[in-house]
Amino acid sequence: MAVTASRAFTCYNHKLFFFPNTSINLCPTPIKVPSLLLNGNGNGNGNGNSLFYRPKNPIPRCVHSAPKNLETHSQSHVPRRRNVIEILEERGLLESITSDKLRSACSDSNLKVYCGFDPTAESLHLGNLLGIIVLSWFQQCGHKAVALIGGATARIGDPSGKSLERPELDPDSLEKNTQGITNTITRILGRNTKPSSDSFVIINNYDWWKDVTLLDFLKRVGRYARVGTMMAKESVKKRLESEQGMSYTEFTYQLLQGYDFLYLFQKEGVSVQIGGSDQWGNITAGTELIRKILQAEGAYGLTFSLLLKSDGTKFGKSEDGAIWLSSSMLSPYKFYQYFFSVPDVDVVRLLKILTFSDIEEINELEREMKSPGYVPNTAQRRLAEEVTRFVHGQDGLDEALKATEALRPGAETRLDWQTIEGIAKDVPSCSLAYNEVLNLPLIDLSVSAGLLESKSAARRLLKQGGLYLNNSRVDSEGKKIEAQDIVDGKILLLSAGKKNKVGSCNDYDCISLFERLECGFMAKCNILGGCKFQPISFAHYSLREA
């Protein structure tokens, strides 16, 4: 089937086709959701106002992992290897595929697989990570990943899963966002492939949409779209039933995404589109468009489940907002802490979905969690380390581990101001003058900085062995802040916490910044050549009982 489709596609690129204006079956089997079906025609010769040609001098928006070498509809035969579909199924990543023929195609051919990312923000977030992970699995199985940046579709906004229309983005914001997520994808996919590998490419769909006129689009595509089918899509029905309704602009989004698949199939040889389960209708719109307009087989769709918690709520949000993949918007330390705070009920499933750890190792860890000798949070630590390394690299993980250890009350790690300074922006803070802190009783400082509500609460915690200065437990109620307490002349770290109910009373586990219990803070003192008025900022972090 793959060879036949390839020949048919090659033939299309060298001959003029006539596509009869006929009605189209909108629900081919075995598609589980009614799909939008489009039809149209084009001369395919690269001349005139056709939707089926690439501009002679497009804006340079294509980023490759190596010099470009995209052969037409690449499905060259390779030795049989482990099937990526089987891997995705085993790990719980597979939701649906448009045809079982994709299984054999993945074993017998080198495929090109794409996932779309609309630049609606300067960074991708945790919800986008699944798409990158699935692309990476295809890479590891010998296929080529294509990341499509929606420079055009972001101007419209995908209504799928949204209760309100996205705000319109100005050109400067779009360009900035495009650059930001391009850098993120390049960093992640490039780091996790061999240096000599040509296993991924990044393309912007604005390259082909910018020269398409409305009349051309309506003539070539719109006339073959069935309004009834478009309105029957779940994302459209929900919005039409809401008080806000849906604009015509959003209504056309499905046509744009459907055509993107056709363009990539025709011009770049991409034969598989992947996306979250909410993208099923948009994906099958593209496969049907390819089958009817190009009269070609071999185009497939694959969806993965959305990232949800065990209770069905969305995973990837914190009290502070989205979990971003860019270190400029969320530090590796805070990223690490988010995954370390995952509850036991979710951690094994997330290890299978979000990491590349061997499935047997994960199963063994799951068995250990049920044994009496299991060390609490071992699975969470493994999850946090693996995901942080994949997104931020080994350097990012080292930074996160160093900060985590430095902020753990009772830790023997020597504190340094660079480590604390690096995460100061991640936590709430306040400022006090240097001369107000020096020689101030620790009990008073704990209250004035907002760590504890009252001096009596501070004294009570101190007597319980839960008040720390620079990770050392304070036993004396009369302790005052001395100059040597300020680490490197710049940092003062105080922390408070409860006893570890599993280990000894001196054992603490520093985790999520999003827990409600404020158990510690750090004080930053900037020494600028003398003890004049310098601010000291206090930042709270959280502890979790093991």
Per-residue pLDDT averaged across 242-251, rounded?
78
Token digits of residue 28: 């081919």
At 173 the three-state DSSP class reads helix
Q: Are strands 467-469 and 472-473 parallel, antiparallel or unpaired?
A: antiparallel
Binned at pLDDT 50, 70 and 90, residue 369 comes out as: very high
pLDDT > 90? residue 507? no
Residue 310 has what pLDDT?
77
Residue 101: CB atoms within 10 A of its CB come to 15
What burial class does residue 50 get, using C-beta atoms within 10 Å of its C-beta: 0-12 exposed, 13-18 middle, 19+ buried?
middle
For residue 534, which phi and psi values (nearest 5 degrees)?
-125, 140
Residues 6+ apart with CB under 8 A from 339: 350, 380, 383, 384, 387, 388
Q: What is the pLDDT of residues 404-449, one digit of tens each?
A: 877 766 556 667 777 666 666 665 555 677 777 888 898 988 888 7
- pTM for the model stands at 0.71
- Cis amide bond preceding 372, omega within 30: no
Share of the chain above pLDDT 90, in %: 35
Question: 434 versus 317: which is more confidently predicted?
Answer: 434
Whether 437 contacts 481, CB under 8 Å = yes
pLDDT > 80? residue 542? no
Whether 324 contacts 188, CB under 8 Å = no
Question: 244 versus 372: which is more confidently predicted?
Answer: 372
Token digits of residue 162: 């949204």
C-alpha distances out from residue 502 to 10, 65, 263, 374, 511, Å: 67, 49, 59, 11, 16
Q: What is the pLDDT of residues 77-110, one digit of tens each?
A: 444 578 999 999 999 999 999 999 999 999 988 9
Number of H helices, E strands in the chain: 20, 16
Please state, rounded to an integer, the average pLDDT across all residues of the chain: 74
pLDDT > 50? residue 137? yes
At 206 the three-state DSSP class reads helix
